[in-house]
Amino acid sequence: MSRNDSKYFSTTKKGEIPELKEELNSQYKDKRKDAVKKVIAAMTVGKDVSSLFTDVVNCMQTENLELKKLVYLYLINYAKSQPDLAILAVNTFVKDSQDPNPLIRALAVRTMGCIRVDKITEYLCDPLQRCLKDDDPYVRKTAAICVAKLYDINAELVEDRGFLESLKDLISDNNPMVVANAVAALAEIQDNSSRPIFEITSHTLSKLLTALNECTEWGQVFILDALSRYKAADAREAENIVERVTPRLQHANCAVVLSAVKMILQQMELITSTDVVRNLCKKMAPPLVTLLSAEPEIQYVALRNINLIVQRRPTILAHEIKVFFCKYNDPIYVKMEKLEIMIKLASDRNIDQVLLEFKEYATEVDVDFVRKAVRAIGRCAIKLERAAERCISVLLELIKIKVNYVVQEAIIVIKDIFRRYPNTYESIIATLCESLDTLDEPEAKASMIWIIGEYAERIDNADELLESFLESFPEEPALVQLQLLTATVKLFLKKPTEGPQQMIQVVLNNATMETDNPDLRDRAYIYWRLLSTDPEAAKDVVLAEKPVITDDSNNLDPSLLDELLVNIATLSSVYHKPPEAFVTRTHSSAQKTEDDDYPDGSESESSVNLANGPGSPPTSSYTIPPSVAPATPPSAAAPVPDLLGDLMGMDNSSIVPVDQPATPSGPPLPILLPASTGQGLQISAQLTRRDGQVFYNMLFENNSQVPLDGFMIQFNKNTFGLAAAGPLQIPQLQPGASARTLLPMVMYQNMSQGPANSVLQVALKNNQQPVWYFNDKILFHVFFTEDGRMERATFLETWRSLPDSNEVSKDFPAIVIGGVDATVERLATSNIFFIAKRKNANQDVFYFSAKLPRGVPLLIELTTVVGNPGVKSAIKTPSPEMSTFIFEAIETLLRS
Amino acid sequence: MISQFFVLSQRGDNIVFRDYRGEVQKGSAETFFRRVKFWKEDADGDAPPVFNVDGVNYFHVKVAGLLFVATTRVNVSPSVVLELLQRTARVIKDYLGVLNEDSFRKNFVLVYELLDEMIDFGYVQTTSTEVLKSYVFNEPIVIETAHMPVGPASIFMHGGKRMPGTAITKSVVANEPGGKKRDEIFVDVIEKISVTFNSSGYILTSEIDGTIQMKSYLTGNPEIRLALNEDLSIGTSDYRGSGAVILDDCNFHESVHLDSFDVDRTLSLVPPDGEFPVMNYRITQAFKPPFRINTLIEETGPLKAEVTIKVRAEFNSSINANTVLVQMPLPTFTARVNFELEPGAVGHNTDFKEANKRLEWGIKKVVGGSEHTLRAKLTFSQELHGNIMKEAGPLSMTFTIPMYNSSRLQVKYLQIAKKSKSHNPYRWVRYVTQANSYVARL
């Protein structure tokens, strides 16, 4: 017999399950074992082999550990779906938990703990009780973890049966593995309980510190992490603890080292002797640096932690800046973090060396890295006054290479340098102006414009320079518009000649009339008011001295830093966010709504440009002393109507009176009854799907001379049986008013006979006018239900199970799929879910799943060359008669 | 504590999937893969090893082209998880001999058994191959391998013929086809060196990351004594003259006893089965770089330039460097490159990688003491903005030099406590130096 597991994956003839069943009941041991392996193989590729439950469980009673483990693996997987059958296994479990072989005893409790079925849990308690006191340490350490499992299923049971006490006893166990697992279990239970369960006294502390020396590496981490919650009574105790922990810094396992660092840092807070602290810093430095010799993944974690540590204790690595120089083969995420730390460690002593490095990085290939390097030079200039000049000369050198993104980045940081050292380096403005026309990024443009405005009196042709931007004013992003507005006002105040006067007219007009950005409009109005009432006051306001910015390289808020330092060596220290910001563990597996992700966990460098007040430039990431920072204005007011619509739609009153000309949000609804035909009543409507329900999204506009009321709606019989689920609720519409509603719809209510079509005939009446009839087209994609996502295996199985006659295909020669991600996302919002993608020659083939009402599956295959016209669509569904509509829907979605 | 563990192939197929806590939804592997695959819009940006999507934290490491992934919802220690992933890969490799999709699929039952013993309810139990042997019952099915093995020791495969290469792909637990296990032990001193030269050839930074790696196939787990240079010192405080090897820092595997280390620099240990690092060390003390690089760029016309690269091997002529590769980014507007090698050059190949505008010069074998020169004539499609030196370089080099170590750290002897007179296991002590980041700026 060949010992080759992959043969278990090969599918045999039709009757796979019956065949397996027969083999499972074979009288030969080997045959049974092989059969169970085949079952497990099927299970891992997602096949449903739950029907073999009883047959597999029958194989459980064996002395063969290999076979027993396989059966247990199966049980863990299927017990949840077959709770009644799982009970069959209980007797064997209980028997196994008393087996003379300790491995079998341990296996039994371990597995029982993983089966989250109430009926089984009841039977778990007695064996668990026995195993916690077992003679064999392997059994005890398994039982310790099992208590945590049980607590997760039924906390009360654990407390009632006194398992917590047994667990605490295990802290004094003579086997370090058992101690470590008991600590891990208690720590988890404590995390999920509001009352004190696992309190570390000085007694447990000393016991655990002793166990530390004998534990395996992982046990050491469990213990160190649990002990890090301990608050030493005084400096002496803290010193003692540190002394016991310091040898762990020599461990080859990076996790042990970091957990030890965490513990030492925490105790250091209590130590008063500066000598001791200095000495500890000296001891921690080499192991911290050694972490950077590990795999890049570990390096990343180490760097994120070091970033925090040097903010609190800058001296630790003050002399080690060289180790943070980037290696050419470092992954980009490591390089970025090293750069950040280099800025933090830069000092007057090493700045020359550091600048040399930055200059080198600024000519590398990766654009993001280059930008960050350029910015780093600026940050050093702001941080180190004595080095500012050298930094600027490096920046000027880089500008001369004329690589576009380098120039733009340099201008952004130079603007900040000007703000840090006003009236010092303006001689370089001429050089900057040379690059003016190559700027195409908003932030760089805005920075340059700010510089021109701020130093308008020293730039001879400031008016010409600004004027060149004005032509494109309406198209510029808000950031640039705001700066243009302010710079023009500054120019005018400084040089109130004819040219600037005309410019200011143009800008103010543009910014007040032609824009819907309230920030821009409001700022423009304020300037206008100021200029027209009291130009001198305007000068005082606009040309006032600006606060000097400070360096942000230690920019974590001190209280946040404190919290993060407590969380060194946890995820929190990698994301630089407090745990509650990302931990969403839920016992009831309720879905969380948080949508954030923390790509590289970097402190957000986004700027609140709009809030910085009229005179200030868009500071990239610098802090303004709070006393002068104006309050943040409330942010934009765009999609209010839509939001209301959603809210109202949800509580089913489904009406939203809109008392001013509606600002349509999202794509406007198609007009179905134009005002010209409707005697002044205009109706726009479209079917839409929200929160799993189909709605008729309608907009009524009364352009007639009379108030309209008493609206009612009726749908003619149609292919899909669409009908209103409730009465139409539209209040009296005054002339000139409009109203929006989301009318809930139901399906299969008034089905039409005859050939299928997508026409929806609507009749609408009110008390003042005749009945209006209009036709709408049913958008089929509103019927795709939210639960259409399929497991890949299910998809394959479904595809195979459907006969080929159910496959229909269609070509869309004109459609281009540009961005794959965007397309996938767009389809997902219409409940067409991405399954997989593969390459076929030069074509990409995408697979999607969706579900039609009544649970009818729909499988979609799209074949295309990304970026080129022509998409072939093939679908497979039990309802191929719907294909015309399905293709229509696919086409609409791909086109939009 | 982790919630799920899985291994994905390069294409994103699930090879192994184990859910320990049922807290994270089943589709996590797909979510993960899509995130990693499309981390950066413009292709090749590596995703960081830790990230969060919808409240689920994903950790991953790449080993032998496979993605080892763990998920969790809680604020765990990321270094624990990443170490665990690395170790899991190592244990599975110890068992299977080779890590690849095929070996996984052939041994999936064994892999699941291993995973169940290594991790319980998301908590690491053990990652020691030695300990696992007493709990794991499935026997590995060793696959025939034409593939290259992974890990630092793989360099011996294409090293010299004198290396008993097959041992490296051998499973630690599987019995040899002949029945009896071959009694042998490998100790590899592997040094990865990083050097940055400035434009005038002066060394800006240099560093050695060293590992003493052990892989033991000894029966009966005898105790081993490993003696290092007696003049070895740790930390720069007790500097003992110019000849000494000074380590900035070092750490040891937990099986190592350091009782006599301070006295005579010997380590004693009972090596567990499997491959493991006995000691890691780091050196920033100056050392003689194995290669000197000389680069000259001259503009020879408005649209032309000539690059001359000289590489000199500064080690003993009895030693050869293998798989030497010199790379240098060229200015963006480089359209064509003509290469000129010295007459009679063998085993050289030169290439201009159009896509990323890179010059590549590979040399199969460089004999100690020799010097090689490459001349490359560049033609540009546009005039440069002036400084060609700023748009080209830096030059980087990768190489492997077997039986050479930069630090002079040595294993003076390797003693195996003998159980019987007839018992004389094979002992292999091997040295190798590899380039990590070996860069010459222009």
Residues in contact with A531: Cβ distance below 8 Å, sequence separation at least 6, in sequence order = A489, A492, A504, A538
Q: Give the nearest chain B residue to A4 (CA atoms).
A: B106
CATH architecture of B291-402: Sandwich (2.60)
CA distance A323 to B207: 9
* CB contacts < 8 A (A, B): 246
Mutate to test the interface with B, among A65, A69, A356 (most CBs of B within 10 A): A69
CA pseudo-torsion sign A8, A9, A10, A11: positive
Phi and psi based region of residue B6 (left: phi greater than 0; alpha: psi -120 to 50; beta: remaining)? beta
- Helix (H) / strand (E) element for A135: namely none
Domain ranges of chain A: 5-246, 441-552+611-622, 640-778, 784-895
- Helix (H) / strand (E) element for A240: namely helix A235-245
pLDDT, tens digit, 9 for 90 and up, residues A788-803: 888 888 888 888 888 8
Token reading at A565 = 């330092």
Are A218 and B124 a contacting pair at CB < 8 A? yes
Mutate to test the interface with A, among B26, B62, B74, B79 (most CBs of A within 10 A): B79
Are A297 and B45 a contacting pair at CB < 8 A? no
List CB contacts (< 8 A) between A225 and chain B: 77
Burial class (CB in 10 A: 0-12, 13-18, 19+), B242: exposed
Say what the pLDDT of residue B165 is. 41
Quick check: A752 and A653 in contact, CB under 8 A?
no
* A488 residue type, one letter: T
CA B375 to chain CA mean position, Å: 31
Are B23 and A257 a contacting pair at CB < 8 A? no
Domain ranges of chain B: 4-132, 152-287+404-440, 291-402
On the CB side of B218, CA atoms within 13 Å amount to 25
Are A286 and B48 a contacting pair at CB < 8 A? no
Residues in contact with B261: Cβ distance below 8 Å, sequence separation at least 6, in sequence order = B267
Mean pLDDT of chain B: 85
Of B202, B364, B365, which Cα lies nearest the Cα of B292? B202
Are B437 and A113 a contacting pair at CB < 8 A? no
Are A601 and B61 a contacting pair at CB < 8 A? no
The residue that leads in pLDDT, A827 or A325, is A325
pLDDT band at B169 (very low <50, low <70, confident <90, very high): low
pLDDT band at A771 (very low <50, low <70, confident <90, very high): confident
Pick the CATH number of B4-132 from 2.30.30.110, 3.30.920.30, 3.30.450.60, 3.10.520.10: 3.30.450.60
**pLDDT (mean) for A587-613:** 38
Location of structure tokens 């028997």: A95
Token reading at A408 = 């733009």
Are A251 and B61 a contacting pair at CB < 8 A? no
Token reading at B172 = 């630690």
pLDDT, tens digit, 9 for 90 and up, residues A486-501: 999 999 898 888 888 8
Are A789 and B27 a contacting pair at CB < 8 A? yes
List CB contacts (< 8 A) between A400 and chain B: 385-387
List CB contacts (< 8 A) between A142 and chain B: 120
Interface confidence, given as ipTM, is: 0.85
* B146 residue type, one letter: A
Say what the pLDDT of residue B152 is. 47
Nearest-CB residue to A298 (from B83, B250, B391): B83
Say what the pLDDT of residue A585 is. 57
Beta-sheet pairing, A759-765 with B224-228: unpaired
List CB contacts (< 8 A) between A592 and chain B: 54-55
Are B23 and A300 a contacting pair at CB < 8 A? no
On the CB side of A281, CA atoms within 13 Å amount to 20
List CB contacts (< 8 A) between A596 and chain B: 52
Quick check: A120 and A86 in contact, CB under 8 A?
yes
pLDDT band at B159 (very low <50, low <70, confident <90, very high): very low
CA pseudo-torsion sign A558, A559, A562, A566: negative
pLDDT, tens digit, 9 for 90 and up, residues A256-287: 999 999 999 999 999 999 999 999 999 999 99
Q: Which one-letter DSSP state was computed for residue A93?
A: H
Instruction: Give the closest-approach CA distance of B275 to chain A in angstroms.
Output: 14
CATH topology of domain B152-287+404-440: Immunoglobulin-like (2.60.40)
Mutate to test the interface with A, among B20, B31, B38, B77 (most CBs of A within 10 A): B77
**pLDDT (mean) for A565-584:** 91
* Rounded (10°) CA dihedral A72, A77, A82, A85: 0
List CB contacts (< 8 A) between A35 and chain B: none
Burial class (CB in 10 A: 0-12, 13-18, 19+), B318: exposed
Instruction: Give the closest-approach CA distance of A218 to chain B in angstroms.
Output: 7
- Helix (H) / strand (E) element for B294: namely strand B291-301
Say what angle helices A518-533 and A535-542 make with each other, to 10 degrees: 130
List CB contacts (< 8 A) between B125 and chain A: 141, 177, 181, 218
Mean pLDDT of chain A: 83
CA distance A814 to A827: 18
CA distance A443 to B195: 37
Location of structure tokens 């480089």: B334
Location of structure tokens 């799209």: A862
Mutate to test the interface with B, among A571, A589, A820 (most CBs of B within 10 A): A571
pLDDT band at A729 (very low <50, low <70, confident <90, very high): confident
Q: Give the nearest chain A residue to B45 (CA atoms).
A: A332
pLDDT band at B181 (very low <50, low <70, confident <90, very high): low
Are A791 and B17 a contacting pair at CB < 8 A? no
List CB contacts (< 8 A) between B251 and chain A: 250-252, 257, 287, 290
Of B253, B404, B254, which Cα lies nearest the Cα of B321? B404
Phi, psi for residue B275 in degrees, rounded to 5? -90, 135
Pick the CATH number of A640-778 from 2.60.40.1150, 3.30.230.10, 3.40.50.300, 1.10.10.10: 2.60.40.1150
Mutate to test the interface with B, among A117, A328, A573, A845 (most CBs of B within 10 A): A328
Quick check: A349 and A387 in contact, CB under 8 A?
no
Nearest-CB residue to A70 (from B16, B77, B109): B109
Residues in contact with A175: Cβ distance below 8 Å, sequence separation at least 6, in sequence order = A137, A140, A141
Quick check: A151 and A192 in contact, CB under 8 A?
yes
Instruction: Give the closest-approach CA distance of A209 to chain B in angstroms.
Output: 17
List CB contacts (< 8 A) between A191 and chain B: 74
CA distance A58 to A20: 13
Burial class (CB in 10 A: 0-12, 13-18, 19+), A39: buried
Mutate to test the interface with A, among B58, B114, B120 (most CBs of A within 10 A): B120
pLDDT, tens digit, 9 for 90 and up, residues A132-147: 999 999 999 999 999 9
Pick the CATH number of A784-895 from 3.30.310.10, 2.30.30.60, 2.40.110.10, 3.50.50.60: 3.30.310.10
* A218 residue type, one letter: W
List CB contacts (< 8 A) between A356 and chain B: 204
Are B75 and A583 a contacting pair at CB < 8 A? yes
Are B82 and A251 a contacting pair at CB < 8 A? no
The residue that leads in pLDDT, B275 or A619, is B275
Lowest mean pLDDT among A102-116, A347-361, A815-829, B268-282: A815-829
Nearest-CB residue to B249 (from A222, A287, A586): A287
Instruction: Give the closest-approach CA distance of B343 to chain A in angstroms.
Output: 32
- Is the pLDDT score of A399 beyond 60? yes
Location of structure tokens 């049913």: A778
* A258 residue type, one letter: L
Nearest-CB residue to B123 (from A69, A181, A792): A181
Are A569 and B107 a contacting pair at CB < 8 A? no
> If one looks up domain A5-246 in CATH, what number appears?
1.25.10.10
